[in-house]
Amino acid sequence: MRRMRWSTRAAKQLLTAVLGAAVIGSVLVGPAQSASAYTYYRHGRAGTVRILDQVQGTHYQFCFGGYWIQGVYFPNCTWSPAVVGPQLRIARSKRSGAAQSVTVTWKIQRIGEHGWYTHYQESARYRIKKGAARVTTPYWYRIPTRADTMRLVLKVKWTRVRDGRTLGSYTALMNHAADYRCATQFPCAVQKSSIWLRSPTV
């Protein structure tokens, strides 16, 4: 079984994302393909947002403890589904030439009895310095507590650093098959408006 390894930077991001859990192994990663079919909404003087890759469905291997058999140690490992959010290239709001703060919120949504609901969300803040045109975010990694049918929603908010004034907002709903791809050898399927993932042993 051939495996491709993440870079050192990506590995550090992954270790942070899983809150210290031991991770062994790697994932299969294909070439980046920009998401292109998502639905988006703009409010105020939002800057432009370019989504540099599709949302990836993949799996990571976790090892928690282990056991000894005839002097040989065998780690207790399992593969778990994970979602890799794409990098974003975010241009400043043209409403202000001063330093701007950009808050990105990632939401993993699941389908339930009454439609889509937010299963998990997380935010991070970036700064576009005065005189700079844009900022590029890193990839975002998250291992859902439950796996099945999921979709990703991205929200970007621009504020002026000096006084916190909101300049604009942007929401992208990843709701088409072209917004997703499977980057794993384990159970994963791109659906009409979402992605389906589960553990290989379930």
Question: With 50 as the cut, is the pLDDT of residue 11 above it?
Answer: no
Residue position matching structure tokens 């003087």: 45
**pLDDT, the chain, mean:** 82
Q: Which two tokens stand for residue 91?
A: 């241009």
Q: Which residues pair with 123 in a beta bridge?
A: 105
pLDDT at position 180, please? 96
Residue 66 confidence (pLDDT): 77
Please list, in sequence order, all residues whose beta carbon lies within 8 angstroms of the beta carbon of residue 148, skipping any fewer than 6 positions away: 110, 111, 196, 197, 198
| Long-range contacts from 176-180, C-beta under 8 angstroms, 24+ separation | 176/37, 176/38, 176/39, 177/37, 178/35, 178/36, 178/37, 178/54, 179/35, 179/36, 179/37, 179/38, 179/54, 179/55, 179/152, 180/54, 180/55, 180/56, 180/57
- Give the pLDDT confidence of 158-177 residue by residue, as tens digits: 999 999 999 999 999 999 99
């589904």: which residue's tokens? 81
What is the number of H-type helices and E-type strands within the chain? 1, 14
Phi/psi of residue 93, nearest 5 degrees: -70, 135
In this prediction the pTM is 0.77
Whether the per-residue pLDDT at 25 is higher than 60: the answer is no
DSSP assignment string, 57-68: EEEEEEEEEEEE
Domain annotation for the chain: domains and CATH numbers = 31-55+84-197 (2.60.40)
The confidence score (pLDDT) of residue 15 equals 34
* Helix, strand, coil in percent for the chain, rounding step 5: 5, 50, 40
Give the C-alpha separation, 153 to 147, whole Å.
Answer: 17
Range in 20-34, 91-105, 123-137 with the lowest mean pLDDT? 20-34
